[in-house]
Structure 1
């Protein structure tokens, strides 16, 4: 069998859902910037939270997401003049913020060589043609969600665990493959469809 675990732009999903595989575009746009901190710069920010936090200014309606992550750069971002323009725009948007939130952005180098524009997207889990139970989807491939509810990784781990449980039954000979995949998909769809929509609403609420 084939299991599509190839991410939010899943090629397997495109095969199983040729008419409805595309991600849904959100009105929320972000600019991603990775920057370095000295220990002195990091101390007041880590005092807020050592991992991540969000900040929305109620009067100027600009939104800040800060997180510590181990990342590997992929894809194309904005370079040189385009990147400098986006950094300048970010700095204009935090004029009304107080320190240390303001300093997170204001201390970004003006000549930072690389930024990444992000258009947030999602994909609520739906019914797909699983080729007579010989193909299925899991994790981001079938339920891409925005980060505002903080549950994507949890659901991806649960998907994998439940799918493995079903495949063990097939290997043991206690259930046929068709039954195992049908059981897996019957559980995953309502659970993840709902959380994708909740995450979408949380993103809209955060920017309202």
Structure 2
């Protein structure tokens, strides 16, 4: 006997929430996505994201074939090789070289090459074809479980929705998780990530070291690390209204707050001029060709995020509210695993909801099966990200105890 039609409410229109929405759309499952931001590009959310083999598999499973092809076509042109250097741009040895080469599709690897994409472009692709079901300017307020097992969710503009399942995809500061699992709050590690981009104009390239514009670079400092990735794009594919990013050099500086001269302000408390001044002071002894990358950066694009991480809690009693991505397993960006894990969550949850929609599995059993799998792979990703932080920064984060040894093949690929 066919199951009754399902309706899914998703709070959060980030990559994980939109990937889930696309997968539900493919399966004919009704959904609505609610996002507190006023518009898709109303807030800085990062400039480069590296999609690994797991993330690509999830996107291929969740997106229509033409959108998955569009995702690949809009990724940055691949670069050859990786610079592993110190702050004077001298070569560094013994820092996860082998793991990086395997991640880059070297001969002998059975995995697809990682793809670097502009985060905003990927978000626009994930909105294709479902824009009428994604509602911006809708801040989550509360939810209430009904006697019939369904969920009433209320939003700041007095809008409400009734659904069979509420999915929290609203990131590290998830308000849904605060009520659903109040003990699962992520902790501030004491690290921050300052990220930006530099446009490679001829006058800028004259000042920047020749090492940086053509290869991925990982710079190891004293308790600091920098990830640098050139982002060069192909001509815009026809038939889609995507914002075309200019070519740029992406960079992210991660380290302890005190190393960067940053206090415990929130991510929006420091102006971009203040962030630039702190970078200037922090890097004053670094190689001039490296410092120039920050000095020539687009000041309006400069942003900071605190690094938070959490342990995935032990199994919890099931109901009609679940979570994915940073809303439940936030982690350090050092491993480049956060977004890929969220995409994997979306794939797993959609697959289980498809079983429920087809009447092959009760809805609560489908949710429970997803959550068990999500807890397992989320915990593994958090551990890998902790180890990656140790490799990049030479220290453990303050959220966790004695650092564990880094195992071969588990070193980080890149910051998100």
User: How far does residue 91 in structure 1 lie from its aligned partner after superposition?
Assistant: 2.1
| Residue equivalent to 1:8 | 172
Q: Is the 8 A contact 1:78 1:114 kept in 2?
A: no
Q: Which of 282, 293, 309 matches 1:122? A: 309
The separation in 2 between residues aligned to 1:127 and 1:86, in whole angstroms, is 38
Deviates further, 92-101 or 151-160 = 92-101
The alignment status of 1:25 with 2:188, answered yes or no, reads yes
Q: Is the 8 A contact 2:186 2:310 kept in 1?
A: yes
The separation in 2 between residues aligned to 1:15 and 1:66, in whole angstroms, is 38
Deviations for 1:128-153, whole angstroms, at most 9, x for unmatched residues? 645x4311111121111222111222
The alignment status of 1:174 with 2:338, answered yes or no, reads no
The alignment status of 1:48 with 2:215, answered yes or no, reads yes
* CA RMSD across the alignment: 2.9
The alignment status of 1:63 with 2:225, answered yes or no, reads yes
Deviates further, 35-44 or 1-10 = 35-44
Q: Is the 8 A contact 2:352 2:366 kept in 1?
A: yes
Describe the shift of the 1:98–1:188 C-alpha distance in structure 2 as closer, same or farther (beyond 3 A).
Answer: same
Deviations for 1:111-169, whole angstroms, at most 9, x for unmatched residues? x4674343211123224645x43111111211112221112222111111111111111
The alignment status of 1:92 with 2:281, answered yes or no, reads yes
Q: Name the SS for the 2:184 alignment partner.
A: coil
Q: Is the 8 A contact 2:198 2:294 kept in 1?
A: no
The alignment status of 1:78 with 2:240, answered yes or no, reads no
Deviations for 1:67-120, whole angstroms, at most 9, x for unmatched residues? 46879xxx73523xxx444423322332443353232123348xx467434321
Deviates further, 115-124 or 145-154 = 115-124
| Residue equivalent to 1:101 | 290
The alignment status of 1:191 with 2:377, answered yes or no, reads yes
Looking at secondary structure, tell me which structure has more helix per residue.
1
Q: Is the 8 A contact 1:16 1:129 kept in 2?
A: no
TM-score normalised per structure 1: 0.77
Q: Flag structure 2 segments of 5+ consecutive residues without an equivalent.
A: 1-164, 232-244, 251-266, 395-416
Q: Which of 290, 303, 324 matches 1:138? A: 324
User: How far does residue 195 in structure 1 lie from its aligned partner after superposition?
Assistant: 1.2
User: How far does residue 178 in structure 1 lie from its aligned partner after superposition?
Assistant: 1.5
Q: Which has the higher contact order (CA 8 A, sep 6+)?
A: 1
Deviates further, 87-96 or 179-188 = 87-96
Number of matched residues? Answer: 193
Q: Is the 8 A contact 1:133 1:177 kept in 2?
A: no
| Residue equivalent to 1:150 | 336
